[in-house]
Amino acid sequence: MANGKTEKDRRRRRRRRRIQAIVIYTAIAIGLAWFFESQATTTMIFVRHAERAGPSADDPGLTPAGQRRAAELARQLVDADVVAGVDAIYSTPFRRTRETAQPVADALDLPINIYDPADNEAVLQTILRNHKGKIILIVGHSNTVPTLMADLGASKKVPPIAEMEYDNIYIVSIPWFGKTKTIRLRFGEPYTGEPAEEEFEGVKMTE
């Protein structure tokens, strides 16, 4: 009888140890998943707005060519299987940037978050705080896109954006540990032209 109880006790202890091991393993797995999710690479996709109408308009929208480029941007992201992972979209308040972002926003059913192009620090802090470890599309202007990337520690080899240059996609990856990486891709019709300057809310900018 005593031997029977001893054997039952042993089996009970073995089952308890197995259950404890499973619980501990599950807790560790959940903890590691949470850690790597919270510390994952944040990816920002920067584009300049597509071709805009003439500067005579107060807030010009896109030309037909610009509308085609905006549609091509969404198509390129879909083909690269990126759109499914985009978590947020940011744009300056102007028609040309909002219209460039709209096809991607429509494809994802996401709102377009408006940011102030004169305050790089604010928008970058907002993105890094609210979308850490996510993929974010940021639509800006020819002189704001390079400065935003520079503030993130992106490559210093990125050349200035020319007046008629609308075909760049910059992908900046910010890992939780290690060096920020920059990839430059192109889409749609290639550009031609030289840099030009115009006034933007009292700030001289290439746009």
Domain range for residue 24? 1-38
C-alpha closest to that of 48 among 152, 122, 188, 146? 146
Query: Per the structure, how many domains does the chain have?
Result: 2
202 vs 91, residue with greater confidence = 91
Residue showing tokens 């990839």: 183
- Give residue 178's region: left, alpha or beta (phi > 0; psi -120 to 50): left
Q: Write the pLDDT tens digit of every residue in 5-31.
A: 677 777 777 777 777 767 666 666 555
The CATH number of the domain where 191 resides is what?
Answer: 3.40.50.1240
- Does 120 lie in the same domain as 24? no
SS (H, E, C) 55-85: CCCCCCCECHHHHHHHHHHHHHHHHCCCHHH
Q: Which helix (H) or strand (E) holds 112?
A: strand 112-114
Domain identity same for 2 and 67:
no
Q: Are residues 19 and 30 in the same domain?
A: yes
pTM: 0.74
pLDDT tens digit string along 38-84?
557 899 999 999 999 876 668 899 999 999 999 999 988 776 665 55
Query: Are residue 1 and residue 69 in the same domain, yes or no?
Result: no
Residue 23 and residue 117 in one domain: no
46 and 3: one domain?
A: no
Q: What phi and psi, each to the nearest 5 degrees, are found at residue 145?
A: -60, -50
